[in-house]
Amino acid sequence: MFLFVDKNLDAINGESSQATAAALRRELRLKDRLIQQKEEELQNLLFTLAHELKTPVGAIRGFTHFILEEFSDELPNMVADYLNRISKNADRIESIIEDLNLLSKLNIHEDSFEVINVRELISDTILELYGQYPVDASSIEIAENLSPAYGHRGSIQHVFTNLISNALKYRRERVQPKIEIGCLEDEIFLKFYVKDNGIGIPREAQKKIFNMFVRVGHKKRVHGSGLGLYIVRRIIQAHGGEIWVRSRKGVGSTFYFTLPKPPKAAAH
């Protein structure tokens, strides 16, 4: 009699566990759909903002440049200075619009992942940056043992472009920039780093720099949208990784981020 009751209890418990698991799976699928819906709504909003802002900002820049060029001899110095400031702020807004547009198109899925020769990708990135920043090739050291990563190639290149260009922009005055790029391995992820000897980031700002519209440092003549590192974080998270920074003001910064290793089948 007791054995019969025990078997029935086991059956009931088994059915209950299966029902609970099924309910959890349904709840998880619902949450995934809601997250996807919110992501799509955010991307649509960003695209709309970028599209709507582009024309008026372009008009502001255009009219400002026209006035400065056509009436430069007639403008008081103070007025010319104000117009130049308007133009510079319009340039910054355009930079924000470009990054908002990039964010609206940031849609990374695993089916677009490929095995990436990271050393080759970084070399291509540096070549593209030579035209923007006066830097000697000896200033950038790339480790020989960079393992291949697995991800969306264009997005990963954007990550390296942002981190390397930041290292060049936020260099110390009268100090030759030194940038080191390397990789550490564990069983699941690759941990890459981009290390520089720049101006560094204050401790209180290090947790905020990956948020929207936060600028790294306050160096003069350095322009940006304040979205660069936020976009980088979104890209890394889309690959299932993390990004963080270690920095000392006046000494330099090291950005670390993780990327997945290639699947064994893809690695051969």
Over the stretch 12-35, which tens digit does the pLDDT of each residue have?
Answer: 566 667 777 777 777 777 776 766
The residue segments making up the domain with residue 12 are 1-105
Instruction: Judge if 100 and 140 occupy the same domain.
Output: no
Contact 195, 252 (CB under 8 A): yes
Q: Which pLDDT tens digit goes with each residue over 109-139?
A: 888 899 999 999 999 998 888 877 777 777 8
Instruction: Judge if 89 and 158 occupy the same domain.
Output: no
Q: Which pLDDT tens digit goes with each residue over 40-94?
A: 666 667 667 777 778 888 888 888 999 988 888 888 889 889 899 898 888 878 8
pLDDT value of residue 193:
96
Instruction: Judge if 124 and 221 occupy the same domain.
Output: yes
Q: Which residues pair with 132 in a beta bridge?
A: none
Instruction: Judge if 153 and 73 occupy the same domain.
Output: no
| Band of pLDDT at residue 218, cut at 50, 70 and 90 | low
Domains identified in the chain, total number: 2
Instruction: Judge if 242 and 170 occupy the same domain.
Output: yes
Residue 181 pLDDT > 70 = yes
Instruction: Judge if 135 and 244 occupy the same domain.
Output: yes
pLDDT value of residue 233:
93
This model's pTM is above 0.75: no
Instruction: Judge if 84 and 141 occupy the same domain.
Output: no
CATH for 23: 1.10.287
Instruction: Judge if 49 and 141 occupy the same domain.
Output: no
Exposed (0-12), middle (13-18) or buried (19+): which is 30, by Cβ within 10 Å?
A: exposed
Domain end among 76, 105, 134:
105
Ordered DSSP codes for 145-165: TPPPEEE-HHHHHHHHHHHHH
Question: Can you tell me the distance from the alpha carbon of 86 to that of 210, in angstroms, rounded to the nearest whole number?
Answer: 28
Exposed (0-12), middle (13-18) or buried (19+): which is 178, by Cβ within 10 Å?
A: middle
Domain end among 60, 90, 105:
105
How much is the mean pLDDT over the chain? Answer: 82
Domain end among 57, 85, 105:
105
Instruction: Judge if 166 and 70 occupy the same domain.
Output: no
Instruction: Judge if 133 and 230 occupy the same domain.
Output: yes
pLDDT value of residue 199:
92
Instruction: Judge if 134 and 79 occupy the same domain.
Output: no
CATH for 215: 3.30.565.10
Please give the structure tokens belonging to residue 136: 């000697």
Side-chain-facing half-sphere of 94: CA atoms under 13 Å: 14
Instruction: Judge if 40 and 63 occupy the same domain.
Output: yes
